């Protein structure tokens, strides 16, 4: 497989959880697959006064835990030869020229990618220090900056952050990462839609009743409680990941697969979402917070009992939303988005429910009501496409049953690439397709801002749901028709 371009990856916040559980294992897997050029090197930035050897030991332990199919010592040693550790305080502006000299002394590539795996409050100061130290100067090699979510806290803070970055970065140098876009099944949404002509005539308001996008987690906030209590499910999941999935499933076909065409269509779709007014928040949004319960066979605390959570917090750990897209294709079709913690299973589903036929063909038979057709994309934990249809049961009577066509997209060994692997490579290649443009970020904030503002003003009460359940029953009020409910289950037929 062809090697990629030379590059020096600089990881700020390298000793943090994201770097150790995602980035370093992803780099190792790219090493195993031969996707890194010999001139790709990785500098870890941290406050701990470690040597290269100490850092490599930490990385080895992390990779050993996450490596697909077990870690190869030989491959890890090859990978370790790319690693270096640089001790610095990112708040010390004088450290940045020293970082540049460190890379120069190593003789490493002047093509540099700076990955900011750190608090968003550090984005502006770090980029300023990089710029003031000439580390973003592209006269010698390209310079790119990768920013983890969230980008801002609301629309105003996102604009303020972008204003700071504009002083030192162009849009072409900026890579706002949403790791969901790197997942294989997420990219498969585009292939499924646009490579199969039989789908296009059905992909509209004439045939689709509604679309659900759900993300559940079978764990609490854990060590993220301090961050989460100031964020909540709407900011943490819906504003970023789930709105991205909505854009991909509903956008018009891009003119080509190039980054700007793809991002143009996503922005156009997001801007077509009907604004939610303050008076409609209660009709189109629902929030709740997990309480005590039983999860995975164990008694667990409620959110207010988690360490780092304010005792009177009304931060939502569950959020649901009903949206409408005001364009020709989707007029009148509701899109339901749902996310929650401490639920029975961790999974992400996109469930497309088709309308019933115009008339019940079997009026005179035993069949009172047939189930609708569904297409379900399971993005995680494993990647599956499921198509559900109605057929006749064997026998003399005309009884119907639901059958499905199931396609598992796992490889033959049951593994799938981690999203970060492709995203890290795309930064080296300069491919923005799976990264967010600022007008895309701004459009997402504009959708959820009225809800966040309304919820922020109501600090006296929040609904609860027992841990280990599928969320609050009250969220079903968002559905337009009686009998409709959230879809949380996908049974896969083994071949």
Residue-level pLDDT at 294:
95
Going by pLDDT thresholds of 50, 70 and 90, the confidence category of residue 226 is confident
Residue-level pLDDT at 1:
41
| Lowest-confidence pick of 227-231, 375-379, 465-469, 474-478 | 227-231
pTM assigned to the model = 0.91
Residue-level pLDDT at 2:
44
**CA separation for the pair 283, 64 (Å, rounded):** 48
CATH topology identical between 7-148 and 181-416+436-478: no
**Model confidence pLDDT, tens digit, residues 323-363:** 999 999 999 999 999 999 999 999 999 999 999 877 666 65
In this structure, how many other beta carbons lie within 10 angstroms of the beta carbon of residue 429? 12
Q: Is 332 left (phi over 0), alpha (psi -120 to 50) or beta?
A: left
Q: Of 29, 179, 241, 432, which is the active-site residue?
A: 241
The structural architecture, per CATH, of the domain 181-416+436-478 is 2-Layer Sandwich (3.30)
- Catalytic (active site) residue 488: no
**Model confidence pLDDT, tens digit, residues 398-411:** 777 778 888 877 65
Residue-level pLDDT at 407:
80
Which uninterrupted H or E stretch holds 75?
A: helix 73-80
Cα angle, residue 397 at apex, residues 396 and 401 outer, rounded to 5°: 115
Q: Which residue has tokens 């008076």?
A: 279
Cα angle, residue 336 at apex, residues 332 and 338 outer, rounded to 5°: 170
Which residues are within 8 A (CB) of 139 and not within 5 positions of it... i.e. 6 or more apart? none
Residue 144 corresponds to which tokens in the numbers above?
Answer: 């790119």
In this structure, how many other beta carbons lie within 10 angstroms of the beta carbon of residue 98? 12
Query: CA torsion sign, 156 to 160 to 165 to 171?
Result: positive
Helix axes 24-32, 52-66, angle to 10 degrees: 80
Q: Is the pLDDT of residue 492 over 90?
A: no
Going by pLDDT thresholds of 50, 70 and 90, the confidence category of residue 393 is confident
Nearest to 117 by CA among 201, 199, 21, 207: 21
**Model confidence pLDDT, tens digit, residues 21-60:** 999 999 999 999 999 999 999 999 999 999 999 999 999 9
Nearest to 300 by CA among 104, 59, 428, 466: 466
**CA separation for the pair 75, 79 (Å, rounded):** 6
Q: What is the DSSP letter of 36?
A: S
What average pLDDT does the structure give for the chain?
90
Domain range annotation of the chain? 7-148, 181-416+436-478
* CATH class given for the domain over 7-148: alpha beta
Q: Which residue has tokens 């897997």?
A: 29
Helix axes 73-80, 24-32, angle to 10 degrees: 110
What is the mean pLDDT of the segment spanning 235-248?
93
């Amino acid at each position: 497989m062809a090697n990629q371009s030379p590059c020096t990856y600089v990881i700020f916040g390298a000793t943090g959880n994201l770097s150790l559980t995602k980035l370093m294992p992803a780099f190792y897997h790219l090493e195993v697959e031969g996707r890194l050029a010999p001139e790709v090197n990785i500098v870890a930035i941290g406050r701990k006064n470690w040597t290269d050897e100490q850092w490599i030991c930490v990385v080895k332990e992390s990779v050993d835990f996450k490596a697909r199919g077990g870690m190869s010592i030989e491959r890890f040693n090859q990978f370790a030869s790319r690693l270096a550790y640089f001790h610095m305080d990112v708040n010390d502006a004088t450290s940045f020229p020293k970082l540049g000299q460190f890379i120069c002394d190593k003789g490493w590539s002047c093509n540099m990618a700076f990955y900011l795996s750190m608090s968003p409050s550090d984005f502006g100061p770090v980029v300023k220090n990089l710029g003031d130290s000439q580390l973003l100067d592209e006269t010698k090699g390209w310079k790119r900056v990768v920013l983890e979510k969230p980008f801002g806290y609301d629309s105003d803070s996102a604009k303020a952050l972008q204003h700071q970055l504009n002083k030192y970065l162009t849009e072409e140098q900026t890579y706002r990462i949403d790791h969901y876009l790197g997942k294989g099944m997420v990219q498969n949404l585009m292939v499924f839609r646009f490579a199969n002509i039989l789908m296009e005539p059905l992909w509209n308001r004439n045939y689709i009743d509604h679309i659900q996008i759900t993300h559940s987690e079978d764990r609490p906030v854990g060590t993220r409680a301090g961050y989460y209590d100031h964020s909540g499910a709407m900011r943490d999941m819906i504003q970023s990941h789930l709105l991205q999935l909505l854009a991909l499933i509903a956008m018009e076909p891009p003119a080509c697969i190039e980054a700007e065409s793809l991002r143009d269509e996503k922005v156009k779709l997001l801007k077509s979402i009907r604004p939610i007014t303050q008076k409609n928040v209660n009709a189109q949004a629902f929030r709740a917070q997990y309480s005590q319960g039983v999860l995975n066979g164990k008694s667990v605390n409620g959110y207010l009992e988690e360490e780092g959570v304010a005792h009177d917090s009304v931060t939502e750990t569950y959020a649901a939303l009903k949206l409408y897209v005001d364009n020709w294709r989707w007029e009148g079709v509701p899109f339901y988005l749902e996310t929650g913690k401490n639920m029975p299973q961790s999974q992400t589903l996109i469930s497309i429910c088709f309308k019933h036929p115009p008339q019940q063909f079997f009026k005179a038979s035993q069949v009172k009501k047939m189930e609708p057709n569904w297409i379900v994309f399971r993005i995680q934990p494993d990647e599956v496409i499921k198509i559900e249809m109605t057929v006749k049961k064997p026998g003399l009577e005309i009884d119907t049953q639901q059958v499905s066509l199931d396609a598992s997209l796992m490889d033959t060994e049951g593994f799938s690439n981690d999203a970060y692997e492709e995203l890290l490579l795309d930064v080296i290649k300069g491919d923005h397709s799976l990264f967010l443009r600022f007008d895309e970020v701004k459009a997402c904030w504009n959708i959820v801002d009225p809800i966040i503002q309304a919820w922020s003003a109501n600090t006296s009460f929040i609904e609860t749901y027992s841990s280990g359940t599928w969320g609050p029953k009250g969220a079903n009020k968002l559905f337009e028709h009686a009998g409709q409910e959230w879809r949380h289950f996908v049974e896969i037929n083994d071949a």
